[in-house]
């Protein structure tokens, strides 16, 4: 065979198992054709998220204006060299405020979805693994949570407990339990049927061990994609709450900035006051959604490979 292909000595000689590597057609190209790559868009999205998270985390140490210092510039200065994003009605620097606003928006998004993953994920895992009564009780609780209008629920809680950062995170966290939990349950049901779960039982593993060591790593894969999408949803939800004047009284988020800049006169005279927080939120939510969706597709393909 080898001599007919005329590969010569250097390209594997007579070894029938030798696969010739064609120049300019590396394995990476093969990977793309199989849809096994995350693509440039994913990395651009992740890049944006890394930038916004870094900047928000480092805000107190960055050489930027105090976001609450009124009269930093003039009132409603246009974006320019002195104030990159302009100033708002009180003369506060919008660039600094957009960065500081990210702190609250991202914190709410992250903490809420983390709580959803921890509580919903645990419940979903238990429901999917043990089935029976545990499943019926937990699934009913998920349905009850899903049937309650989310915004009304949030309004009630915040009206009752006040709108501190903690309460807003908790409220949105509770709302994310059911969607996350249902996914965790569905994924667990699929994997619990696989023989590797029975195999680890015949090797003497306990239920806890099976759930944590065998099922959780598998269930986390689809959940990680949902976490990104869920964070996007939560950031938008926080914006909606803020717009109703119900979010975080002890600070400000992008949503609250949009509310403050949305008076008709401000909108007419200084549209940049709302444009920059809206833009930042738009890009962040877009990046989260895109990255989450790509991740989901990527992991689905990986799933098929088994």
Partner 1 sequence: MAVTDGSPLLSVSDLRVGFATERGLVRAVDGVSFDLAAGRTLGIVGESGSGKSVTAKTIMNLLPSYARVEGSVTFDGRDVRALASSGARHFWGVEMTMVFQDPMTSLNPVKKVGEQIAESLRVHLKRSRKEARDEAGDLLEQVGIPEPRKRLTQYPHELSGGLRQRVVIAMALACSPRLLIADEPTTALDVTVQKHILDLLDGLREERGMAMILITHDLGVVRGRADDIMVMYAGRTMEQADTDTLFSEMRHPYTEALLETIPRIDMPSHSRLVPIPGRPPDVIEVSTGCPFAPRCRSCTDVCLTERPTLDEQGHGHVCACHGPVGTDVGAMARSANEASGVTPAGLDMAAFGSAGVEAGDGS
Sign of the Cα torsion 202, 205, 207, 213 reads negative
- 70 sits near partner 1 (criterion: CB under 8 A): no
Q: What's the closest the beta carbon of residue 217 comes to partner 1, in angstroms?
A: 4
Comparison of 214 and 238: residue with beta carbon closer to partner 1: 214
Whether residue 290 contacts residue 43, with contact meaning beta carbons closer than 8 Å, is answered with: no
Comparison of 81 and 306: residue with beta carbon closer to partner 1: 306
- 224 sits near partner 1 (criterion: CB under 8 A): no
Structure tokens at 4: 């007919």
Whether residue 76 contacts residue 270, with contact meaning beta carbons closer than 8 Å, is answered with: yes
Q: What's the closest the beta carbon of residue 121 comes to partner 1, in angstroms?
A: 16
Contact window for partner 1 (CB under 8 A) among 90-98, 156-164, 214-222, 246-254:
214-222
Query: SS3 of 183, please?
Result: helix
The site that binds partner 1 (CB under 8 A) totals a number of residues, namely 21
CA distances from 87 to 72, 242, 243 (A): 8, 20, 20
Structure tokens at 178: 């059911």
In sequence order, the 6+-apart residues with CB closer than 8 A to the CB of 201 are 210
Structure tokens at 140: 């009913």
- 19 sits near partner 1 (criterion: CB under 8 A): no
Provide the mask over 177-196, with x wherever binding to partner 1 is found by CB under 8 A and - wherever it is not.
-----------------xxx
Query: SS3 of 77, please?
Result: coil
Q: What's the closest the beta carbon of residue 137 comes to partner 1, in angstroms?
A: 16
Angle at 232 between CA 226 and CA 234, to 5 degrees: 100
Residue from 25, 61, 81, 306 binding partner 1 (CB under 8 A)? 306
- 162 sits near partner 1 (criterion: CB under 8 A): no
Contact window for partner 1 (CB under 8 A) among 46-54, 74-82, 149-157, 201-209:
201-209
Nearest CA-CA partner of 214 in 241, 244, 190:
190
Residue from 16, 60, 204, 264 binding partner 1 (CB under 8 A)? 204
In sequence order, the 6+-apart residues with CB closer than 8 A to the CB of 245 are 259
- 217 sits near partner 1 (criterion: CB under 8 A): yes
Q: Which of residues 108-137 bind partner 1 (CB under 8 A)?
A: 132
Comparison of 38 and 240: residue with beta carbon closer to partner 1: 38
Which residues of this chain interact with partner 1, rule CB under 8 A? 132, 194-196, 198-206, 209, 213-214, 217-218, 221, 305-306
């Amino acid at each position: 065979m080898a001599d007919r292909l005329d590969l010569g000595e250097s390209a594997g000689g007579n070894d029938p198992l030798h696969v010739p590597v064609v120049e300019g057609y590396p394995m990476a190209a093969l990977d793309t054709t199989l849809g096994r790559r995350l693509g440039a868009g994913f990395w651009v999205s992740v890049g944006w998220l890394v930038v916004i998270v870094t900047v928000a985390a480092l805000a107190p140490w960055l050489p930027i204006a105090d976001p609450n210092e009124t009269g930093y510039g003039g009132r409603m200065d246009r974006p320019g060299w002195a104030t990159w994003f302009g100033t708002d009605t009180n003369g506060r620097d919008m660039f600094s405020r957009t960065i500081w606003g990210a702190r609250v928006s991202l914190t709410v998004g992250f903490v809420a979805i983390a709580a959803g993953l921890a509580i919903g994920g645990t419940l979903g895992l238990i429901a999917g693994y043990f089935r029976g009564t545990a499943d019926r009780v937990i699934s009913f609780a998920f349905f009850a949570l899903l049937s309650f209008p989310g915004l009304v629920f949030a309004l009630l809680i915040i009206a009752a407990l006040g709108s501190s950062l903690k309460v807003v995170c908790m409220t949105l966290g509770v709302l994310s339990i059911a969607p996350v939990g249902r996914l965790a349950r569905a994924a667990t049901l699929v994997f619990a049927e696989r023989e590797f779960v029975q195999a680890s039982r015949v090797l003497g593993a306990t239920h806890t061990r099976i759930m944590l060591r065998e099922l959780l790593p598998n269930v986390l894969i689809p959940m990680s994609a949902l976490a990104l999408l869920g964070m996007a949803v939560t950031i938008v939800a926080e914006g909606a709450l803020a717009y109703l004047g119900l979010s975080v009284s002890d600070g400000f988020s992008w949503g609250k900035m949009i509310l403050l800049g949305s008076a008709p006169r401000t909108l007419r005279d200084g549209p940049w006051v709302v444009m920059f927080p809206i833009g930042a939120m738009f890009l962040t939510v877009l990046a989260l959604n895109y990255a989450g969706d790509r991740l989901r597709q990527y992991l689905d393909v990986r799933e098929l490979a088994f």
